[in-house]
């Protein structure tokens, strides 16, 4: 019988895993089952280039259709796996079709966290996760209209920046005392609040939404403090949830994600999990982590493909991320959770360029670099290699980042 690998989900992870299987020597069938209507596409540009119209859906494709055809990779689009029978090595699709698998890869990704608010089902209220989500948002965009963003995380702020560039009146509502409160330090939060205010966005923190008002289409956002904001468009960005239900129903070990080892292998030797849905060990921080990150999905997929082909290659990569807002490129090296000291190279209170370094017991564990590509690249190298570097040298702007490691090894 021909060996078959079924990939569940059409995410960044799936787009890398399928061709990596061929590179690792998989000669059998590869079938990707995706509940979306499109081949795998780049998600980060959705809230930026695609929303503002500088790239169309075709330009977002990670790889063209011909590539998958040449690689013998089959797609079942607009289809969904509803159950896994691990004993029989089969999956059942939403239309009742059963497929046999030799190996199974769960690239189920994550979904936008929904809000249970009165009026949340009104037309004009949107989440931002898929191509279809953003296509719907674009229909409500026009200069002078009022947009309310619920959630002051990276997705909310990126969306605010694009809508503002499209000449909408934009208000960001954040329940926490500051934007980006879950992911970064007060200095970075204050910086982004300042920049957005300078660009004409209204930032309101410590605000809870009570309801969304309107007849058929949303017209206002009502807050718990009694404030009422005019809204022609509402975008909800309050986080995402990993899609683990399929794995859990199949009896796989699940926590805040599908639990895998350093080879991306789940509690079933014939099943791997990759990307936003996976909870995997990280050697740099000595704990299990789940990352919502394109670089993680891509690199993890390469390791998973090797595992499925019997060529064990552990996944060990330092997490890194980025965010584009206005003329700002934020590049993040590492994870800052657990830091006990933060130090700034540059000035966060004026201008638009600096680097924030996070330390734990004197060791550099993460860096947030705004328009500082050299600082980002060197910080990433230092953290990856575990090289001790004096805090004072990182902060001294007379010392170029490329000299940090040279000085550290002398």
Where are the domain boundaries for CATH 3.30.390.30 in the chain?
327-409
List of long-range contacts for 20-27, beta carbons under 8 Å, 24+ apart: 20/301, 20/302, 20/304, 20/305, 20/306, 21/305, 21/308, 21/309, 22/71, 22/72, 22/73, 23/305, 24/305, 24/306, 24/308, 24/309, 24/311, 25/309, 25/311, 26/305, 26/308, 26/309, 27/3
Any idea which residue has 């966005």 for tokens?
Answer: 201
Tens digit of each residue's pLDDT (9 = 90 or more) over 337-349: 999 999 999 999 9
* Mean pLDDT across 172-193: 95
pLDDT value at residue 2: 85
Q: What percent of the chain has pLDDT over 70?
A: 99
| DSSP string of 110-170, one letter each residue | EEEPP---TTTTSBTEEE-SSHHHHHHHHTT--TT-EEEEE--SHHHHHHHHHHHHTT-EE
**For residue 345, what are the CA distances in angstroms to 187, 188, 340, 367?**
12, 12, 17, 10
Whether 41 contacts 131, CB under 8 Å? yes
Cβ–Cβ under 8 Å, residues 167 and 141: no
Which residues, in sequence order, are bridge partners of residue 188? none
pTM for the full model?
0.94
- The torsion angle over the Cα atoms of residues 212, 215, 220 and 223, rounded to 10 degrees, is -30
Residue range(s) of every CATH 3.50.50.60 domain in the chain: 4-111+241-308, 125-236
Q: Is residue 47 over pLDDT 70?
A: yes
Mean pLDDT of the chain: 95
Mean of pLDDT values over 355-367: 96
CATH 3.50.50.60 fits 4-111+241-308, yes or no: yes
**Architecture (CATH level 2) of domain 125-236:** 3-Layer(bba) Sandwich (3.50)
Sequence-ordered list of residues with C-beta below 8 angstroms from that of 366, at least 6 positions apart, any chain: 332, 333, 334, 335, 336, 339, 357, 358, 383
pLDDT at 178: 97
- Confidence label for 409 from pLDDT (cuts 50, 70 and 90): very low
Are the C-beta atoms of 36 and 63 separated by less than 8 Å?
no
Residue with tokens 């674009």: 138
| Interval 51-61 mean pLDDT | 92
Output the CA–CA distances (angstroms, integers) from residue 37 to 40, 55, 388, 397, in the order listed.
9, 18, 49, 50
Q: Which CATH superfamily is domain 327-409 in?
A: FAD/NAD-linked reductase, C-terminal dimerisation domain (3.30.390.30)
pLDDT score, position 405 = 78
Distance CA 15, CA 12 (A): 5
CB neighbour class for 138 (10 Å; exposed up to 12, middle 13-18, buried from 19): middle
In this structure, what token pair is assigned to residue 380?
């990433």
The string of pLDDT tens digits covering residues 126-174 is 999 999 999 999 999 999 999 999 999 999 999 999 999 999 999 999 9
- What strands lie across the sheet with 209-214, from one edge to the other? 209-214, 218-223, 228-230
Q: Which of 276, 272, 317 minimizes the C-alpha distance to 294?
A: 276
Residues paired with 358 in a beta bridge? 342, 366
Residues 86-95 have a mean pLDDT of: 98
């Amino acid at each position: 019988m021909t060996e078959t690998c079924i990939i569940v989900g059409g995410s960044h992870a799936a787009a890398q895993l399928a061709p990596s299987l061929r590179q690792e020597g998989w000669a059998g069938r590869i079938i990707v089952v995706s509940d979306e209507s499109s081949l795998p596409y780049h998600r980060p540009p959705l809230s930026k280039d695609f929303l503002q119209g500088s790239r169309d859906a075709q330009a977002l494709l990670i790889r063209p259709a011909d590539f998958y055809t040449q690689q013998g990779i089959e797609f079942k689009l607009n289809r969904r796996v509803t159950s896994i029978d691990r004993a029989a090595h089969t999956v059942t699709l939403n239309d009742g079709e059963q497929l046999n698998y030799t190996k199974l890869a769960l690239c189920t990704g994550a979904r936008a966290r929904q809000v249970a608010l009165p009026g949340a089902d009104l037309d004009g209220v949107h989440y931002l996760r898929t191509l279809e989500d953003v296509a719907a948002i674009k229909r409500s965009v026009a200069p002078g209209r009022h947009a309310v963003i619920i959630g002051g995380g990276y997705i909310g702020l990126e969306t605010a920046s694009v809508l503002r560039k499209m000449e909408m009146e934009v208000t960001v509502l954040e329940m926490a005392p500051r934007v980006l409160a879950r992911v970064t330090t007060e200095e970075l939060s204050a910086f982004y609040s300042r920049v957005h205010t300078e660009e004409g966005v209204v930032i309101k923190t410590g605000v809870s939404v009570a309801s969304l008002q309107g007849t058929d289409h949303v017209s206002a956002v009502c807050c718990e403090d009694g404030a009422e904001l005019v809204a022609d468009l509402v975008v909800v960005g309050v986080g995402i949830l990993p899609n683990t239900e399929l794995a859990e129903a199949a009896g796989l070990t699940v926590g805040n994600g599908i639990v895998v080892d350093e080879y991306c292998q789940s509690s079933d030797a014939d099943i791997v999990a990759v990307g936003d849905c996976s909870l995997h060990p990280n050697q740099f921080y000595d704990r299990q982590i789940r990352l919502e990150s394109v670089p993680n999905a891509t690199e993890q997929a390469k390791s998973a493909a090797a595992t499925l082909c019997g060529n064990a290659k552990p996944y060990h990569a330092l997490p890194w991320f980025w965010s584009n807002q206005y003329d700002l490129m934020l590049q993040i090296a590492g994870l800052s959770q657990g830091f006990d000291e933060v130090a700034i190279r540059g000035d966060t209170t004026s201008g638009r360029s600096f680097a924030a370094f996070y330390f734990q017991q004197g060791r550099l564990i993460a860096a947030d670099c705004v328009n500082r590509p050299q600082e980002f690249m060197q910080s990433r190298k230092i953290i990856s290699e575990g090289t001790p570097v004096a805090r004072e040298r990182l902060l001294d702007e007379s010392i170029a980042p490329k000299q940090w490691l040279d000085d550290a090894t002398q």
